[in-house]
Amino acid sequence: MTKLSVNLNAVAQLRNRRDLPWPSVTGIARVVLDAGAAGITVHPRPDERHIRRSDVYELKALLAKDYPDAEFNIEGYPSEDFLALIADVDPDQVTLVPDDPAQATSDHGWDFVGEQALLTSVVQRLKTPSRRVSLFCDPDAGERGIAAAKVTGADRVELYTGPYGACFNDLAEARVELETLAETARAARAAGLGLNAGHDLTLANLPAFVAAVEGIDEVSIGHGITADALLFGFAEAVRRYIAVLR
């Protein structure tokens, strides 16, 4: 079954609107893990506009103490500050994204061919026997891009599903985007890479995605599940996403 990792950035961003400790990032992490989520994802940015460095350490402590089987996934651009944080926190998975610090959210994957030297160097710094490395991947990376990603030594790629998520009112275009994602997923599996996916996946579009794109190991969902939590509560939202993944 495809695992669900809940991205808590939106929870942190809501908290940061006020100088108050709620909603609690660790408190919501506990709720979603108790409801069946396989792990937690965070993307700490340099300006700490949502997840703060302190959140990263508090989540690590929570998982180590009360949820030792849950997976901690940290996303980010491989700056020296980010790499130092990873060395200190030692998460289960690192997802490298090519974001400029000023970006509102991740909106494209790596140029695996053009950035192959950088990525190879960083992946070798990050990989350990207990930690995997995933690379954010454009939906149309295709066989050439996947071959270059494989050379870096990464364990997985994470399919950027934003263009598919943007097709919520255009079923014909959604089918085109799904076939593009499926083609890249097939190339990744053939190359021996694991597959993650994330961005703008929702209860409405996730069923078609998991039906069309085979072999997804994990989805990381934040904005959509947080929006649904406003209606259903976080625990019920998590249960509904897991039901789709099953």
Token pair for residue 240? 């509904």
Burial class (CB in 10 A: 0-12, 13-18, 19+), 211: exposed
Candidate list 43, 71, 177, 218, residue with the active-site label: 43
43 noted as active-site residue:
yes
d(CA 72, CA 140): 27
Closest to 206 (Cα-Cα) out of 157, 164, 146, 154: 164
CATH 3.20.20.70 fits 3-245, yes or no: yes
pLDDT digits (tens, 9 = 90+) for 125-164: 999 999 999 999 999 999 999 999 999 999 999 999 999 9
71 noted as active-site residue:
no
Domain map (residue ranges) of the chain: 3-245
75 noted as active-site residue:
yes
Share the mean pLDDT of the chain: 96
| Beta-bridge mates of residue 198 | 160, 220
Candidate list 71, 75, 158, 177, residue with the active-site label: 75
pLDDT digits (tens, 9 = 90+) for 198-231: 999 999 999 999 999 999 999 999 999 999 999 9
**Average pLDDT value for residue range 89-114:** 86
Q: Where do the DSSP E strands lie in 17-161?
A: 39-42, 71-76, 93-96, 132-137, 156-160
Percent of residues, the chain, with pLDDT higher than 70: 98
With a cut of 80, say whether residue 100 has pLDDT above it: no
Token pair for residue 218? 């994990």
Candidate list 71, 177, 199, 223, residue with the active-site label: 199
